[in-house]
Amino acid sequence: TQLLEQSPQFLSIQEGENLTVYCNSSSVFSSLQWYRQEPGEGPVLLVTVVTGGEVKKLKRLTFQFGDARKDSSLHITAAQPGDTGLYLCAGVGGAGGTSYGKLTFGQGTILTVHP
Amino acid sequence: DTGVSQDPRHKITKRGQNVTFRCDPISEHNRLYWYRQTLGQGPEFLTYFQNEAQLEKSRLLSDRFSAERPKGSFSTLEIQRTEQGDSAMYLCASTTLGTDTQYFGPGTRLTVL
């Protein structure tokens, strides 16, 4: 059972448009991460957010962590075809912040950016 | 540092056969994780090793699954008597104590016919 809900599951947009992906948890994790995964490859870490209210920017990507540390969003400005991929949020540590740093992933958002 | 490697990249097997996958983590990474990812879903945690000790196993890891990390370096994941429901991408990740950044391998895609 996934404890992290991502929305939307699919997103198909034109190059240059903006988009936001949401990640909501019923539990608090020690931190939350966003990954990007391309077909046939493993996920690659984009960012880790730890503090409630935190905002991090990575070029055209903006990540926000909710004050209660249960929700997060990924905003992409002026999307490009190279942004196409599967975007995953993941809670670090078990729900409630338990052991070993294992990741609990959302089901992912498949983003397609058309030229 | 060549990253996390997994072998094979693809495996096709018939139902009932046994399969074994290998993961070579980044050298000196003492933490190693196995995840399983089915189409359209995010990866799900299977098991965790710290050095050679298997410290956590998911309930997803039935008795047909066994994982080892005998010398605290590479790890193997064996599935006995494979079922069609085992078809998935099996991902390995490694990291070190004190950091939450996991480095994933490219995965082994298993197809059970």
Nearest to A2 among B42, B106, B109 (CB): B42
Tally of CB atoms within 10 A around B55: 13
pLDDT at B20: 98
What is the rounded distance in angstroms from the CA atom of residue A71 to the CA atom of residue A66? 5
Asked if the Cβ–Cβ distance from A43 to B43 is below 8 Å, we say yes
Distance CA B30, CA B17 (A): 31
pLDDT of residue A27: 85
The shortest CB-CB distance from B104 to any of A2, A43, A107 is to: A43
**Residues of chain A under the 50 pLDDT cut:** 2, 97
Chain B nearest-CA distance from A83, in A, is: 18
State which residue of chain B sits closest to A101, comparing Cα positions.
Answer: B100
B56 pLDDT exceeds 80?
A: yes
- Among A38, A42, A31, CA closest to A89: A31
For the segment B2-27, the average pLDDT, to the nearest whole number, is 96
Q: What is the pLDDT of residue A95?
A: 56
CA distance B51 to A64: 34
Token pair, residue A75, equals 């905003």
- Looking at residue B53, what is its pLDDT? 93
Mean pLDDT of B79-105: 94
Task: Tell me the nearest-neighbour CA distance from B4 into chain A, angstroms.
Answer: 10
Q: Distance of CA B70 to CAs A109, B38, B44, B85, B112, Å?
A: 37, 28, 23, 28, 27
Residues in chain B: 113
pLDDT at B42: 94
CA–CA dist A103, A91 (Å, integer): 6
Identify the residue among B100, B103, B111 best suited for mutation to test binding to A, counting A beta carbons within 10 A and taking the highest.
B100
Of all residues in chain B, the one with the smallest CA distance to A9 is B40
Type of residue numbered B41: Q
Using left for φ > 0, alpha for ψ between -120 and 50, and beta otherwise, residue A63 falls in beta
Partner-chain residue, chosen from A4, A103, A110, that has the shortest CB–CB distance to B45: A103
Report the pLDDT value the prediction gives residue B98, as an integer from 0 to 100: 80
Residue A99: list chain B partners with CB under 8 A: 55-56
End-to-end CA distance of chain B: 36
Q: Does residue B45 sit in helix, strand or coil?
A: strand
pLDDT of residue B65: 96
Interface contact A41-B107, CB threshold 8 A: yes
CB A31 within 8 A of CB A70: no
pLDDT value for A1: 52
User: Beta strands A85-92 and A109-114: pairing type?
Assistant: antiparallel
- Region B76-98: mean pLDDT is 95
Residue A94's pLDDT is what?
62
Return the percentage of chain B with pLDDT > 70, whole number: 99
Residue B78: left (phi > 0), alpha (psi -120 to 50), or beta?
beta
